[in-house]
Amino acid sequence: MSFKLTSPVSAEEFERYYDLRWRILRKPWDQPKGSEKDDKESSSLHLMITDEKNKIIGIGRGHFNSAVEAQVRFMAVEEGYQKLGIGSKILKELENRLREKGAEYIVLNSRDTAIPFYLKHGYSEVKQTVTLFESIPHHIMRKKLIP
């Protein structure tokens, strides 16, 4: 299997990108289409991985909260493609690009189930935060990017 890391460019690519985000992160909790977007979409860095048939199989987004604090959001990998390193590739590329743009550290809100993934990538758990959709506890995690 060959994978390609890119950013969505066309309206059609963004439509497929947001559809994956919604199907993995919102639909299972009966959240409406549109709930997978926020007011930072136009100023964010969007990454995706496609397979050899150009199917989007993984996505992630990064944006800045301040001049030095970046945030990673909306990490998702298509079912059947998880545990293949796709999320790791997206996360590492987001970190690299955000660091190049001046980020000194990254914060994110991790679901309970994703904490081991982020710990493996050097993030530290700061504290438990909101419970999304009344059923998904989230934890603030942080990673320093510069020594």
Per-residue pLDDT reduced to its tens digit, 61-98 = 999 999 999 999 999 999 999 889 999 999 999 999 99
| Alpha-carbon distances of 138 from 88, 93, 96, 128, rounded to whole Å | 20, 23, 24, 6
Name residue 125's beta-bridge partners. 141
d(CA 110, CA 117): 9
Full set of structural domains in the chain with CATH = 4-144 (3.40.630.30)
What is the pLDDT confidence band of residue 22, given thresholds at 50, 70 and 90? very high
d(CA 141, CA 52): 33
Summarize pLDDT for 96-142 with one digit per residue, the tens: 999 999 999 999 998 788 899 999 999 998 876 655 556 566 789 99
Res 44: pLDDT = 97
Which residues, at least 6 apart from 37, have a Cβ–Cβ distance to it below 8 Å? 18
Res 86: pLDDT = 96
* pTM (global) more than 0.85: yes
| DSSP-derived 3-state class of residue 41 | helix
